[in-house]
Structure 1
Amino acid sequence: MKKTLIALALSSAMSVSAFAADSYTIDSTHTFPSFEISHLGFSIQRGRFDKTVGKITLDPVAKTGSIDVAIDAASVDTGLADLEKHLRGEEFFDTDKYPTITFTSSKLKFEGDKLVGADGEFTLHGVTKPLTLQLDHFKCGAHPMTKKPRCGANATATLKRSEFGMAKYVPLVGDDVKIVIQVEADKD
């Protein structure tokens, strides 16, 4: 009898925590991962990706959650059609062979009640490596127009593109790439 009560208590506690996390769908009209890279040492060039989808779960009470994001590599946008064609080619993103860039995480980082980062796996050009996103902005609340719950953040990270098999023109075109992701997501 005692074992049955303990098992029942544990299973109900586990099911409560399983339902405590909220699920969010990324709003692709307000989420644009971008990058910054040195060009011949003269300037910092920027580009972004126009198509991003994904899901985020968040349980601020338990300080847990997950991120699952997919970026369409062919949606690279620099404002220059010829450069975008070059970036989609074999020397850089090789989008025919590697159409998707992903970030997945089940290790969200909190300072007190504030979400400040995520440790995860980043896949680019067919190579997967650990990556830590740092958040310098995070907010959840009711969207002022739709009145629906929404969360938003600004995340940054830096990686070496050569570690992902994209070493063409290093060091003339920088090896260090800063990633900046502004993201908004609606509660499901």
Structure 2
Amino acid sequence: AQETYTIDPVHSQAMFEARHMGFSQQRGSFAKSTGKIMLDRAAKKGSVEIVIDTTSIRTYDPRLDEQMKSENFFNVAKYPTLTFKGNNIVFDGDRVVQVDGDLTMLGVTKPVSLKVANFVCGEHPTNKKPMCGAEATTTIMRSEWGMKYGMPKAVSDEIKLTIPIEAYKD
């Protein structure tokens, strides 16, 4: 039977990393993510929707945060969210290993596959609620969504997204 899980925003903060000036990997995060996971483990199918609040971007440098929110990057005034809608969940035995779907960023929607690691479901040890957790990752070329500022020297085209997810059964 299909079960619905609600993403816990406190423990599901998406992260990104990119090469800076060709010297180092720089990281940032989004403090607010919400969404739902519909999962039928017996039938090995389901869907995922994750909504990332781009206004919650954090790089640990207030000036850089403002630049990342600007029209040059996430343009949060016009596009306050980034959305992943996954409609094909791939299983290996009982474990989810991949979710194929569409990533919408800056008003552009493109297909993306999230690789899923450490997928586990069970009872939360302290609050005793049923939940599932995992870590999803993908690498995108930001230019495919129209984000081209500072390429390729200042900020790489290639961006790694990591989304740790904890979701409680409804």
Matched ranges for 1:17-166 at <5 A: 20-166=1-147
Does 1:176 find its partner at 2:126? no
How many equivalent residue pairs?
A: 169
* Cα offsets for 1:69-121 (capped at 9, x unmatched): 11111100011111000100010000001111000011000112211010000
**In 1, Cα distance between equivalents of 2:68 and 2:17:** 14
CA RMSD of aligned residues (A): 0.6
**In 2, Cα distance between equivalents of 1:59 and 1:136:** 18
Cα drift, residue 134 of structure 1: 0.2
Cα drift, residue 157 of structure 1: 0.2
Cα drift, residue 136 of structure 1: 1.7
1:61 aligns to what SS in structure 2? Answer: coil
Give the counterpart letter for 1:68 in structure 2: E
Percent identity over the alignment is 48
Unaligned stretches of 5+ in structure 2? Answer: none
Determine which structure has more spread, i.e. the larger CA radius of gyration: 1
2:63 aligns to what SS in structure 1? Answer: helix
Give the counterpart letter for 2:160 in structure 1: K
Q: Normalized per residue, which structure has more helix?
A: 1
**In 1, Cα distance between equivalents of 2:24 and 2:123:** 40
**In 2, Cα distance between equivalents of 1:99 and 1:28:** 16
**In 1, Cα distance between equivalents of 2:105 and 2:25:** 21
Q: Does 1 or 2 have the higher relative contact order (CA < 8 Å, sep 6+)?
A: 2
Give the counterpart letter for 1:187 in structure 2: K
